[in-house]
Amino acid sequence: MRRKAGLVLLALAVFFTALAPLMRWYAFPRLAKIPPSQYQDMVLEAKPATLLDYATMKPKKVDKLTVVQTLKGNVEESERIEKTAGRDVVVWDALSFIAGPDGKMVSTIPERYIFDAHTQDPVHATGEMVDGDPVQRRGIEFKWPFLTEQRDYEYFDARARVTAPIHYKGTQEFRGLEVYYFEQTIPWTKVPYPKKMPLPGIDSTKLEKQTGTSMWYTTKRMFWIDPVTGAPVNGEEIHQEEMRGGSLLQGQEKVTAFAGHVKMRADYVDSTLALVKSNRTLVLLLTSYLPWGFLALGLALLALSLWLEARSRRPAPSPVAAEPPVSAPLG
């Protein structure tokens, strides 16, 4: 009986030991994915900020500038691209709506970002764009890969349409969570005008040709990343845009179109952190808790099966010889 139980335990030990690496290297890449229907919104603010008054072509200080950023999963486009891509694809239709202190639009920039659901690597397909202009991204945008590493990454800057390194600067604690801190600086770069601007009757796509006035941009981008999920728990930008030269500036060499330190609004930091904490538990189950738990269980079952096998092989104790009965004396 002990030998049968030992064989059963040995089989279970082999099963759970083999399951441990399968959970990490087979199940994790197939189960840890960004859902194609995900919707997320975020509000960032710059307090105070500098904005250009287009009526006077003079920069002015304002109390607040607001950036409303939405990411909406396009399931129909994901399914279309997956037919030829041969992998799970997510399509995010993103929109950055920038509003002044009065709530009126300063600019609106749409994007379509197409990427691998697990690795977050960009996937090039028809429709990939920034502000209506076709692009081919290199590097990540919006989100880091699952199990983010302590190294530099390539990050796509949508405003300048360029990819540049975003540098790992070390590990920090953010509201009780250990995160990786990254920085990227885009030097002054000539950029296109947003297609939607508060300039009634003026086609911004022809503005530079008609006036000779160009738009320039620089930013310092900062992210605090949860290394398990790869999701940003906080983000900031020190953002500047200038208009330079040409007849539009009325003799000025350059004017500030926008300048400010843009930060996530506190309530959105709280909600983002709560979402990340719930998602990281699922990732840790697949990458750490279950693999190590199955391995420990397999080793424990192996030890128990070997112990039972050893017990079953012990020789049975020799029976004690019975003494002959003592005969009663005759008499």
Q: In the predicted model, what is the mean pLDDT of residues 283-308? A: 86
Q: Where are the domains of the chain?
A: 2-21+286-313, 32-264
- pLDDT tens digits, 104-132: 999 999 999 999 999 999 999 999 999 99
Q: In the predicted model, what is the mean pLDDT of residues 21-39? A: 89
Nearest residue to 90 (alpha-carbon basis) of 60, 119, 69, 66: 119
Residue 318, both tokens? 């020799």
Neighbouring C-beta atoms of residue 140, cutoff 10 Å: 22
Question: What is the Cβ-side half-sphere exposure of residue 293, based on CA atoms within 13 angstroms?
Answer: 8
Q: Which residues contact 142 (CB under 8 A, 6 or more apart)?
A: 71, 92, 94, 113, 232
Dist. CA 220–CA 320, nearest whole Å: 90
Supply angle C-alpha 29, 34, 37, rounded to 5.
Answer: 140
DSSP line for 168-186: EEEEEEETTEEEEEEEEEE
Q: In the predicted model, what is the mean pLDDT of residues 83-111? A: 94
- pLDDT tens digits, 154-179: 999 999 999 999 999 999 999 999 99
pTM of the model: 0.87
Dist. CA 48–CA 14, nearest whole Å: 63
Dist. CA 141–CA 69, nearest whole Å: 14
- pLDDT tens digits, 231-274: 999 999 999 999 999 999 988 999 999 999 999 999 999 999 99
Mean pLDDT (the chain, rounded):
90
- What Å distances lie between residue 276 and 21, 265, 279, CA to CA? 25, 17, 5
Confidence of residue 331 (pLDDT cuts 50, 70, 90): very low
Dist. CA 219–CA 48, nearest whole Å: 17
φ and ψ of 249, to 5 deg? -90, 5
Q: Look at residue 318 in the predicted model and tell me its pLDDT.
A: 58
